[in-house]
Structure 1
Amino acid sequence: MEKMKVVILCGGEGTRLREETEYRPKPMVAIGGMPILWHIMKYYSSFGFSEFVLCLGYKGEMIKEFFQGLRDAGGESGWEITFADTGLKAMTGARIKRVEKHITTDNFLVTYGDGLSNLDLNAEIAFHRRMGRAATLAGVHPHSKFGRVKADSSGVVSEFLEKPVLDDYVNGGFYVFQKEIMGCLSPDDPCVLETAPFEQLVEKRQMAMYRNEGFWHSMDTYKDFLDLNAMWDSGNRPWKVW
């Protein structure tokens, strides 16, 4: 298995989750008493990837303090963590570009600090190698934020689904990148990974999508926070693959 570092984007303010992020960075918002960032790192380490580069920004010191305290207590001793201050206002592409010096392999992994999945990472990496493209993303099925209603021609409702899983795919993160992707990025604050760099890769046919038909859930809103904690408390923890 190729040794790859895991870059996790941890610097945003999480403005849509202000009830929690006013006091802590979004990746430190807890599920089952532990930060969502810890859950993400446990996921990656379960596949043998335990070298992490955390792209810090908003309230980054809290992330450092948590993991230093965890290590002092003897927890997750096998993890090698690089804390990289990538600025308060930097966008996703700029944060990745600013940690380029820490990437020493041909391929590396990247994800967001607010998304959980039970995606088969080994299968995605194998797919990435077969495709030979500069970037692979996980295509996932999101839950609709609205109920779906069907009615017959007279207007009588025949079906109602409360926030169903949508058929279409969206970008779920959990990227596998070739290092050459750094050539598409700029260290300037406004560089957004998901706009011009991705558009450039698509134009060159250098982006692939691994279809994940399993669980995926991001923590964008306070309701997401409540839902994920309710799942954990009930024992329904599909992302807990460790």
Structure 2
Amino acid sequence: MQVVLLAGGLGSRLSEETVSIPKPMVEVYGRPIILHVMDIYSHWGHNDFVVACGYKSMMMKKFFHDLYFMNNDFTVAVQDGNCALRPNRPMDWNVSVVDTGQHTMTGGRLRRLREWLGNETFMVTYSDGVGNIDIEALVAFHRSHGGLATVTAVQPPARFGNLELVDNQVVEFTEKVLKQETWINGGFFVFEPEVLDYLSGDDEPLEQAPLAALARDGELFAYKHTGFWHPMDTVRDRDHLNQLCASGDVPWMKMPSPGAVGQLPQAFATNV
């Protein structure tokens, strides 16, 4: 199953980094975050990727063109340039890098990929959000409800402490609070090809009219993920993900092994 990585935005909230590189190239523990996202899918055996780039697309193309050599060690004869590759880390990926336009919105980027996707079920996610998503269970859930689209619903990471008040007295202070009733769009979509018919033009965000129309038609369902998920929208987010890795904890790679699908969560229609 092909995996589309939406990787063309400006990343303006991370401008300290994205003034010189595309957002998916911002590093988390020495590797561009897009590779961490691809690791999640690869863990589940999905190694066929389509990168929908835009902003600084030439840099993205060069990165993936050179990734084979960057991912391995080699000896180079400087006199004639001959290289002897010494494989270091196997990476059985097939990556198509497609320039979908610098100012194209997410729905438009996906629409431009129609000829790359064929007529089969495919997956889509953002290149700047990681989570220990059980992709096998996600796909099984998608097939179980029979709709055209599945979005992974996640609970947003807590960013502020919480004060519990009785009158004017603080009775409890909680450093981090997760609102259990709050669900947001976490990416990690599964789409049938007919979803592309809901996309009308380059200036259309996937997250607005297309998903709303799918919800109205009863074709959009949400897979509830209660495990780890975190976006990289700001420098603070980047630093937090780096700190997790530095501590030896990479929570987005703490997943069950393929073939160990648990009980499927209940579907619910949503207009994320």
Give CA-to-partner distance per residue, 1:201-221, whole Å, 9 cap, x none: 111110000000100000011
CA distance in 1, matches of 2:196, 2:174: 43
Give structure 2 stretches of 5+ with no counterpart.
Answer: 73-88, 256-272
Q: What's the C-alpha RMSD, in Å, of the aligned pairs?
A: 1.4
CA distance in 2, matches of 1:36, 1:181: 27
The residue number in structure 2 matching 1:207 is: 220
Deviation, 1:76, is 5.0
Pick closer, same or farther for the CA change 1:120–1:77 going to 2, 3 Å. Answer: closer
The residue number in structure 2 matching 1:148 is: 162
The percentage of counterpart residues that share the same residue type is 42
Matches within 5 A, 1:127-206: 127-153=141-167, 155-167=168-180, 168-186=182-200, 188-206=201-219
The residue number in structure 2 matching 1:91 is: 105
Deviation, 1:236, is 1.5
The residue number in structure 2 matching 1:31 is: 28
Give CA-to-partner distance per residue, 1:36-80, whole Å, 9 cap, x none: 000011111110110000001011222222222221344554111
The one of 79, 82, 89 aligned to 2:96: 82
Matches within 5 A, 1:118-133: 118-133=132-147
Amino acid at match of 1:203: R
- Structure with greater Cα Rg: 2
Amino acid at match of 1:142: P
Amino acid at match of 2:138: E
Is the CA contact (8 Å cut-off) linking 2:23 and 2:128 kept in structure 1? Answer: yes
Amino acid at match of 2:189: Y
Deviation, 1:166, is 2.4
Deviation, 1:240, is 2.1
Deviation, 1:241, is 4.4
CA distance in 1, matches of 2:49, 2:216: 30
The one of 39, 44, 47 aligned to 1:42: 39
Amino acid at match of 1:170: I
In the comparison of the two structures, how many residue pairs are matched?
237
Amino acid at match of 1:84: V
Amino acid at match of 2:25: M
The residue number in structure 2 matching 1:65 is: 62
SS of the residue corresponding to residue 239 of structure 1 reads helix
The one of 25, 47, 52 aligned to 1:55: 52
CA distance in 2, matches of 1:122, 1:77: 20
Is the CA contact (8 Å cut-off) linking 2:154 and 2:229 kept in structure 1? Answer: yes
CA distance in 1, matches of 2:58, 2:8: 11
SS of the residue corresponding to residue 87 of structure 1 reads coil
The residue number in structure 2 matching 1:101 is: 115
CA distance in 2, matches of 1:161, 1:125: 36
The residue number in structure 1 matching 2:85 is: none
CA distance in 1, matches of 2:35, 2:251: 15
The residue number in structure 1 matching 2:17 is: 20
